[in-house]
Amino acid sequence: MARLLSSSVARFETDFAGLIVGQTDSFFQSSAGSFAGSAAGAITMLCGTKYADLQVTVQRWDLRPEYEFGWEDRDEVPFEERLGSGALMVSGFEMVPGSEHDITGLGRARALIHARGRYRYEYGDHSVPDGLPPEEWLIQLFPDPDAHDALHGEPRRLAGRSPLKAGPRGSWHAALHVWQQTGWSSFMASTPGYLQVSSGLWAVGGPCTKESLLQEILRRHPYTVGEGGKGGAADGPVPLPGNIMRSYKDVWAMRREQFASLAGLPFAETYGDVIDALIAIGLLLRWHRSGTDLLVLNPSPGLVSDAVDLDPALSKVVLMDRYSDFRAAADDLRNLLRWAAGHAITSTPRRIGVRLCLAPEEVIGALRQLRTQRTIDIDVPDEDLTPNRTFIAQSVATN
């Protein structure tokens, strides 16, 4: 029968939904992905909201402990003590004082990870109701002399979707999301006023007049109206970004020039100018219905890289925008490859999906993202990656 050797409890608040249990010089070696991931000396987990109130219990056992009932989420990951790296510490945004947990002699191990309370709020909630119990986590470490890889074990159990994963989208919001996937949003992010216009388009949720869109933008961003509250919806000034690092100012200015040149318009000075530019570029389309001129989203604008000569830094960002929906799943795959023999996996998208509680399509998207990043080599072309197709994925970089 398994015997509990030690146990410690930490109570604290985190930021960015982060939770790490690791040796002091091994933090940030892994990513939580969709729920939890690990590297030698560190386990990283994803909380349910950005500012989570946490109660974290860490246990060390001599053998695999018995099944713990009553938890909503559960996973199992490899772990390995890094010699000379000290005790485990619990960390949210910062290390929690007094949370040291001795793992001397643990060696190669497994960690059972349990969580509950992650589905009571959204990621961006800035506060939780008074009296709400903390989000609870239990991490149980035990030796693994057989050194199993990360694909080994029971299927991950998640009671709901990841807090960072978007829910179902209607046709309007799906079309706006395409602007991100095709790189246009990243390209236009440096244009003053674009983010405010984009949030206005998200809020109106369907075809709208230019005037109603402007009213929604200024309702959401009233601080941008002219001096003394003057300036109507059409001429409310656009604030210049005030948080650009100095080294990026020249690059961002170049992108704003490209945006203006592409639209055939001078620099945008008002939200109305930004909307006109989006129409000129073809991201917004005009639709005449029942005697009213409406604006609609172009759901197929093409890749920004086909229309603009991008600088190298932005080219990399835009390349990854195509797979923005699969970033968490890609981190899950990195965690698998880290522990695989020779940093190579032979499997199918369906088998990996069953193990990690992912749809096969998410695994395929993640594989394509990692290949595009040149993080892995795959012996199957993108078009032949189907749910039941066996493939071999080999890490190019093994960190």
- 3-state SS, one letter per residue, for the chain: CCCEEEEEEEEEECCCCEEEEEECCCCCCCCCCCCEEEECCEEEEECCCCCCEEEEEEEEECCCCCCCCCCCEEEEEEEECCCCCCCEEEECCCECCCCCECCCCCCEEEEEEEEECCCCCCCCCCCCCCCCCCEEEEEEEEECCCCCCCCCCCCCECCCCCCCCCCCCCHHHHHHHHHHHCCHHHHHCCCCCHHHHHHHHHHHCCCECHHHHHHHHHHHCHHHCCHHHCCCCCCCECCCCCCCCHHHHHHHHHHHHHHHHHHCCCCCCEHHHHHHHHHHHCCEEEEEECCEEEEEECCCCCCHHHCCCCCHHHHHHHHHHCCHHHHHHHHHHHHHHHHCHHHEEEECHHHHHHHHCCCHHHHHHHHHHHHHCCCEEECCCHHHCCCCCCEEEEECCCC
Of the three residues 319, 342, 367, the one that is the final residue of a domain is 319
Q: Is residue 389 part of a domain?
A: yes
Number of domains observed in the structure of the chain: 3
197 and 304 in a single domain? The answer is yes
**What pLDDT score was predicted for residue 84?**
87
**What pLDDT score was predicted for residue 301?**
95
**What pLDDT score was predicted for residue 399?**
46
**What pLDDT score was predicted for residue 191?**
80
Which CATH number does the domain housing residue 20 bear? 2.60.34.30
**What pLDDT score was predicted for residue 218?**
84
Which CATH number does the domain housing residue 363 bear? 1.10.10.10
**What pLDDT score was predicted for residue 242?**
39
335 and 301 in a single domain? The answer is no
Its pTM stands at 0.83
**What pLDDT score was predicted for residue 231?**
36
**What pLDDT score was predicted for residue 109?**
98
Of the three residues 290, 319, 348, the one that is the final residue of a domain is 319
286 and 352 in a single domain? The answer is no
Q: Which range marks the domain in which residue 341 is found?
A: 324-395
Of the three residues 319, 340, 375, the one that is the final residue of a domain is 319
- pLDDT below 70 — which residues of the chain? 27-28, 126-127, 166-168, 223-252, 397-399
**What pLDDT score was predicted for residue 17?**
93
